[in-house]
Every structure is written in C-alpha cells, then in structure tokens.
Structure 1
C-alpha cells in the first residue's frame, strides 16, 4: 500500500512540475523548423528551410497566428537581376506568409515538409520572434546570398545558435572528410541531374573541394534537420511529416554528358577520316566552333574567378583545358601559318598532360569531360600532323 501511495505521489509531483513549466511559458508561442524536400527545378534541388511561429493567444482568423518566416526570397523584377545573380551580388530577403499558403505551395509541387518543434524557453521564443519581425523591416530584411555560407538554412541555424544551446553545431552529420562538392553530389546523383552536375563542376573551383566542418555541413536543410535531431542536448519536442508526398521512380536518362561527349568524339573522328569534300568542310567548320566555344567558356571561368563575389568559383582548374585564347585561334583553325601549327602542337601536348594529371589535381574534374578533352587533343593533333602540312 505504501509503495502504491509513493508511486501516486511521484506521478502527481511529475504532473505538477510539467504543468508548472507550461504555466511559466507565458509567450503562447510555438516555434518550429520546417524542412522542405527537394524539388524538380535546379534551385530547389537541395531543399529549403523556414521558421514557423504559432501564437496561440491570437484567434484563428488572425493572419499573424500562424506565420512562416522565409529567408529564401528574391525578386525576379529587381533591376539587373541576371547580372547581379551571375556576379553573386543578388540580394535575398526574409519574407513572412501564412502557413497554409506556404504549405499549399509545396504540396502543389509534391514537396514534403517536415516540422520539428523546438524546445525553447518563453524568453527565447519571444527573443527569436522579435528578431524575425525586426528583420522584416525594410532596412533589415536584405542580405547577400551565398549558397554555401549564408543561405536560407544557415540564417536559421545562426539565429538558433545565438539564442539557444549551440552544441548541435559540433557533431558532424556526414562522414568526416566530406567536401562541399561531395555533399551536393548526393542530391544531384539521387535526382539524376547529370547535366546540372557537369555545369556545377565546371563553374565551381578548387574551394568547393575543401573538407567541411560539422557546422559547415549545415548549409543543407536536411543536414540542419538531422543535427537538431541528434544534438547531445535535446532541442526537439516533436518531429512530424506534415503530409504524405507521392513518390515516383524516374528512370535515368541514357544521354548523360559522358555518353553524349563520347558519341561526339566517335562521330567527329569518323567524319574526319572521310575524303569527301563535304565531310572535310564540315570538320573544318566544326573545329572553329569547338575552339570558339571552349575559349568562350574559358573567358566565363576567368570572369567568375575575378569578376564576381562567388567564393567557390575561384582557383578553377578547368582552365587547364578551357583556354580563353582558343576563342581567337578559332578564327585561324584552317590557316597554314607556322604559329597556328605551333599553337595546336602546344595545345595537344598540354591537353595530354592534363589528362594524365586528371585524378591527381586538388580540384575534382568531372569525368564526363574526358572525351571532350580527347576531342580537343585529336583535333589539335590533326591540325599539326595532317591539315597544315
């Protein structure tokens, strides 16, 4: 009987303690992290994060009762939008909208939303809400977006880190030694975005191959969500999927960059072996286009390195094969001049050396480009040993 009374006593004490804790939370706020699943578009490939704040003291008809704060907003109508985007100078801003509108948008595109209710004190909730509302002011809402270091997810992490326990930034959620490039590969490979992967590998330079710290891993929405779930000090009161998405199994495309460039190499090699005059004129025209486009790409890489604020486009080793000078030589591919022959001789030797060092460079180069570099070698060697003799 005494044991039963003691058990009842402790149960009542626990209940009163819990009730007291709830009573002390006079904020009437519930703050949660929303993690949105990746979408089909390239900008949505890596998911999205936002804060949701529910104020139970307000009526159901109040627009400010259930609000989502979104740091991933930008204005397509901004003057010079595309130039600012390329230069890394585009300003993103925080916006607020009703949760139902936010949810409907993602549900309409079949993107799931996971909600993690944060374990915060009343004071912490009020501080975070005031901070977010202050950020909505016109003079505070804008920031220069950086995909890896200052994005819609890292902003939320930093707010939580500043106002609550920050131990969740210490434990890595990806294997030690993972680089930024490897982290984004997981999403590109999973969604069969091989052409997007190629473009990213061409534009992003050696800094993208640096090993991430545990905190840097949290630039991805899924990683921040996992960090909060696995924190040594509990940060999450509840974790739930807000609705079920329709899963589809998309078949992989056969025409990957590796296949396309390999076919191009074989086709051009076969055409160039023909003695037909039309085939010879075609290969001469193709050579001009090939070296012009390669040179143009080299100029773009130089611009991305020195003319933009993007930190990850610096020190780009793709310039070892995408020479900007090719854009000028493209107009002399059929010339018999000695300097042209010497130029293509140097090009063919240099490209062979690049291929030999391909897997030993400090920057990961996309293997799909190997057939393309072989094509540059083949057409350069042809100019040296056959056409210009």
Structure 2
C-alpha cells in the first residue's frame, strides 16, 4: 500500500470517528415543569412547560406552549372575544429559565420539576421536534381548552416520540369526566361564578368519561401521569424536585354564592307575582322580561354550539330551559296568540323532563340553575292555566 493510500485511509477514519464523538459529547437534560394554579381564571388550572439544559452550549431554555399569539395580554378585550369565538391562537415560545421562574415567583405560584429518564438520542429527538415547532407558522396553534393546550402539547410530543410509554397506575377513578376535574379546581379557587358560567357554556361532551391520557389536559394530572409512567422497562421520570415552594395566592371564598343568589331571586319573583297576581299587565311585563333574558342566553348557547370552533360547547342541554325562541314569545306576550299555549306546554314538559332527570341526563347541570328552572316551570304552568281559562 502506497503512502498516499495510507494517508487517505487514516484521514477518512479520523473524520468518521471525529463526527460521532463530537455528537456524543453533547449533554442534554430534559424536564417537565408544572406550575401551581393562580388566583385569576386563566391561571386556575395551572401550567406546563418543557425545560431543556444543554451543558455543551451552556443554555437553559424553557419551551412554553402557553404564550398568547395574537393579543397583548389576558386583560386585552380582544382576548376574550377571540376566546369566545374559539379563534384564539396560542404559540410556542422559547426563553431563559430564569425569566420563566421569575414570572412565577412574582405570581407566588409554586413550580415542580420532573427530569425525564431518556437516552441522549431520545432527548435530541424531543429537542428537534421543539425546534421545528418554533419555525414560522409552526409555532402557532388554535387553543382548545380541552383538546389542545399547554399541557396536551408536551403530552403529545412524548406520546408521538415514544409510543411505548405506558401508565402503570391509574391516575383518575373510573367514570371521571372532564367537568368533574375542572370543578375541583374551580371549587378550590373559590371561582363559583366562573363555575356557573362554565357550566352554562360547556356541553355534554364534557360529561363523557375519559381515560388517564385524557385527564392529562390538566397540568397536575399530566404531572401525575408522568410519575406513574414507564418507557419500556424503566420509569419515565428520573427525579422530581420542588423548584419553588410558595404559599398559594388563592383565597377561599363562598362557593354557594350563586345558589344563594338564584334562590333569593326566584323567591323575590314569586313574591311579586303573588302580590300582583290579578294584575295582568305586571304579569306580562315580568314574564316578558324573564322570557327575553332566558331567550337571549339560549341564543348565546346556540351560537357557541353552532358558530364557534369550541368543541366543548356542543350538545348543550341547557337549551332545554334557555330556549332561543323565548325572545319571540317575549315580544308577542302582550297579545294572546293561538300558538302560545302549545309553546308553553312544550316548555313545561321539557322542564319537567330536565328536573326529573337532573341526575340522569347526559349532562351535569349547575345546582344554582335549579331555582331558576323551577321558577320557569311555575310560570309555564301559570300561562297554560291562564290561557285555558280564557277560552
């Protein structure tokens, strides 16, 4: 073999060995950050982010899918308008771990960290996916409270990268629904009025039982799922640590305030109806007002079901009592119509079905609605009897 060939052979092999050895020196550490709930509604359910430390480059970056992509902040009115329409875009952002931690320290929210037990190749695969998601339009996604959020995105990255991940111990009881889970957070946060509003807007899809993976749409359950997950024959989580241990900023409050309010409101209407029972004009005004308000709510629920991108607002059984057609009846009540009796009979029967099937219908209703529904049923019966007497 000539000297030239020996030189080429040695040079080629040096290059081949040099490339992998350089790649092998790269050390990554990947962990999941779980943040405690905050006092504001948008923070009630906590938060999830991914932390990647690259010791070769000296970087410590948090990949956060919970960044608003189209409006300035949560106080911007556009935020709630887009959220109601189901058009709100969130995005993936990457920034320093220290900045991320400072934010939660200022908000007085605890943070936990779970280091994942992965090989260097597996860690690089996750980093490549996140890097790809930061490019151009890839960083944006249409937020869905249940199906696509800051917690489901990291969950799906892990499941797509490692299909052999298995949860070895159940994290929720059999028959648990998304509504049950979110109720726990709203009750702990004292968000009773928000709970009422959410129960009005969210349809029966939120009352279908979910599995452990489905429960991971909430950060705490994602954290719990990781603690009980294996990848192959080893634990997915290598270690768990508390990064920030802070007293919760959430202050307890009266969770029965909406129920107390609706009871008082219904009783007040009954008292007024009683004292003006012989005054047809007052009865018509009160019933028209009640029909208009419930009809307006029904229109909102129908629009949220049919004209928005919110999957969780579909199949809403609250339309059994908050009927959109009530608006038409409200303006026609001043003069008796032939179809009024038939309409009130239908409404009365629907409300009877709703009250009788309160615990058996495929949707869970907020208890604060019961006094209002009973009042509506009473007025439907009154209208039916009144129209019968006038014949």
Give the TM-score, by structure 2 length: 0.84
The one of 191, 211, 214 aligned to 2:212: 214
Q: CA deviation at 1:209?
A: 1.1
Whether contact under 8 Å (2:170, 2:212) holds in the other structure is yes
The one of 133, 152, 155 aligned to 2:153: 155
| Secondary structure of the corresponding residue to residue 123 of structure 1 | helix
Alignment of 1:107-186 (within 5 A): 107-164=105-162, 166-169=164-167, 171-186=169-184
Q: Deviations over 1:251-281 (max 9, x none)?
A: 432762211111111111112222499x986
Q: What is the rounded CA distance, in whole Å, between the counterparts of 2:109 and 2:129 in structure 1?
A: 28
Aligned to 1:256: 257
Superposed structure 1 runs of 4+ greater than 4 Å apart: 78-83, 279-284, 386-389
Q: What is the rounded CA distance, in whole Å, between the counterparts of 2:222 and 2:350 in structure 1?
A: 44
Q: What is the rounded CA distance, in whole Å, between the counterparts of 1:45 and 1:178 in structure 2?
A: 20
Q: What is the rounded CA distance, in whole Å, between the counterparts of 1:225 and 1:254 in structure 2?
A: 27
Gaps of 5+ in 1: 1-22, 60-64
Q: Larger deviation: 100-109 or 84-93?
A: 84-93
Alignment of 1:280-359 (within 5 A): 284-359=284-359
Aligned to 1:35: 34
Q: Is 1:237 aligned to residue 238 of structure 2?
A: yes
Aligned to 2:63: 69
Aligned to 2:222: 224
Q: What is the rounded CA distance, in whole Å, between the counterparts of 1:25 and 1:176 in structure 2?
A: 45
Tell me: CA distance 1:95–1:352, structure 2 relative to 1, closer, same or farther (3 Å). same
| Secondary structure of the corresponding residue to residue 57 of structure 2 | coil
Q: CA deviation at 1:32?
A: 0.8
Tell me: CA distance 1:347–1:48, structure 2 relative to 1, closer, same or farther (3 Å). same
Whether contact under 8 Å (2:305, 2:313) holds in the other structure is yes
Q: Is 1:374 aligned to residue 366 of structure 2?
A: no
Tell me: CA distance 1:347–1:127, structure 2 relative to 1, closer, same or farther (3 Å). closer
Q: What is the rounded CA distance, in whole Å, between the counterparts of 1:254 and 1:226 in structure 2?
A: 27
Q: CA deviation at 1:35?
A: 0.3
Aligned to 2:3: none
Q: What is the rounded CA distance, in whole Å, between the counterparts of 1:322 and 1:188 in structure 2?
A: 24
| Secondary structure of the corresponding residue to residue 215 of structure 1 | helix
Alpha-carbon RMSD: 2.7
| Secondary structure of the corresponding residue to residue 49 of structure 1 | strand
Q: Larger deviation: 133-142 or 322-331?
A: 133-142
Q: CA deviation at 1:386?
A: 5.0
Q: CA deviation at 1:108?
A: 1.0
Gaps of 5+ in 2: 1-21
Q: CA deviation at 1:101?
A: 1.1
Tell me: CA distance 1:286–1:26, structure 2 relative to 1, closer, same or farther (3 Å). farther
Q: What is the rounded CA distance, in whole Å, between the counterparts of 2:106 and 2:382 in structure 1?
A: 54
Whether contact under 8 Å (1:172, 1:217) holds in the other structure is no
Q: What is the rounded CA distance, in whole Å, between the counterparts of 1:210 and 1:197 in structure 2?
A: 18
